[in-house]
Structure 1
Amino acid sequence: MNRALSNLPLFPLSGHVLPGGTMRLRIFEPRYLRMVREVCARGDDGRIGMCMYNEHGSVEQNTHIHPVATLARIIDFEHCDDGLLGITVEGVEACEIKQIKVDGDGLRCGEVEIINHWQETPLQRQHQHLADRLCQVYAEYPELGKCPSDERLSCADWVCRRWLELLPLNAEVKQELLREPSCEPTLDYLNGLIDESEKQL
């Protein structure tokens, strides 16, 4: 039986974080400041549902939030010079939103089920270029942090998630790939993108 969580605060964004990834955010809206306070008050059990924004959905009907989301925990926070609150979240598990309710201040909370997401999958030699190129991206954009030099780069599922976070793909495409039972379709998709880009050079 899938694990379920109730009353999980939801944070819809155009940027995406998946399990194993991190994201820095600047918080200023009162509803999200409340969210941070309440999540931090729960200690290690505090979680946020990081959701993909559906630009074709309706805010009134809550269809602006795609169903496949990421449970994330707050791992760092700071008060920025401009008065905003900066937080860093880390993706922990994949989940699916089953129901959404709206609080009086506009904060959305959901009933969610934890998804048994992609199993750990060794990165095969024919896909090594995906890890190599990922490190090149990290080197070109220092704000992403340092490219990991540990066993994470040898995991196809980890590499695929990082590419899905970074690539400017439609959220619908990412949702479809994340619903797959393994990362293999994402590997095929990424290889197709690289082959197409090389043809255009």
Structure 2
Amino acid sequence: MKLALFPLSAHLLPGGVMPLRIFEPRYQRMIAEAGDAGFGLCMWDARQGDELRNMYPIATRVRIIDFDRLPDGLLGITVQGVERLRIQHLWQEPDGLRVGEVEPLPLWQCGRLPRDQRNLAQALREVFSDYPEYAALYREPDWDDACWVAQRWIEVLPIPPEQKQWLMACEDYNPALNLLSNLLVASH
């Protein structure tokens, strides 16, 4: 599948919601052409010197769920993560828009959060409480779903992007839950 790519300094996973400000002409074109396929949201790789290839290989296909003209006149959109992707090939179009041939990765299977890891959901609730503008993006948080909780934590946890990429590339959410449990125990 061919998708336009939007590099950021943040990760978004399936089910995640993120507002974006669009101002560059190449990204305005990307939004205009997104249609049902959406576009790929990927993370900058600051270690990579090649400007064309300075993106990590695991991305997320997103769809636009809302848009508005912002007070400063820019286009504001809200996107939601649909599926994880692996960028296979990458090129740049004449206007600077990066496009990639991408391979969808299987969705993580949903499952109830194990009893001994429910503290992860409670800690995430505290993050939502501390950041109401972030919490407002999620009308119906699924605190009992291990996959949903793990994905939101991967998005917000201040860990190196290489570690987030490793977690995103895993076949399921269990490595993320194990890491989160260890981090939570270490912080208390």
Identity of aligned residues (%): 45
Equivalent in the alignment of 2:113 = 123
In the TM superposition, what whole-angstrom CA distance separates every residue of 1:46-65 from its partner, at most 9, and x where no partner exists?
31100011111134341x11
Distance in 2, Cα, partners of 1:38 & 1:148: 26
In the TM superposition, what whole-angstrom CA distance separates every residue of 1:58-109 from its partner, at most 9, and x where no partner exists?
34341x1111110100011111111111100000111111001100111000
Distance in 2, Cα, partners of 1:76 & 1:120: 26
Return closer, same or farther for 1:26/1:17 CA change in 2, 3 Å cut-off: same
Return closer, same or farther for 1:147/1:33 CA change in 2, 3 Å cut-off: closer
Question: Which segments of 5 or more consecutive residues in structure 1 lack a partner in the other structure?
Answer: none
In 2, are the aligned partners of 1:20 and 1:158 still within 8 Å (CA)?
A: yes
Alignment length (residue pairs)? 188
Name which of 190, 193, 199 aligns with 2:183: 193
Return closer, same or farther for 1:147/1:26 CA change in 2, 3 Å cut-off: closer
State TM-score, norm by structure 1: 0.88
Residue 28 (1) aligns with residue 23 (2): yes
Distance in 2, Cα, partners of 1:163 & 1:156: 11
Question: Which segments of 5 or more consecutive residues in structure 2 lack a partner in the other structure?
Answer: none
State TM-score, norm by structure 2: 0.94
Moved beyond 3 Å, runs of 4+ = 146-151
In the TM superposition, what whole-angstrom CA distance separates every residue of 1:145-196 from its partner, at most 9, and x where no partner exists?
3486857211111100000111121110011112222211111100111122
Distance in 2, Cα, partners of 1:129 & 1:9: 38
Q: CA RMSD in A?
A: 1.6
In 2, are the aligned partners of 1:139 and 1:146 still within 8 Å (CA)?
A: no
Residue 106 (1) aligns with residue 121 (2): no
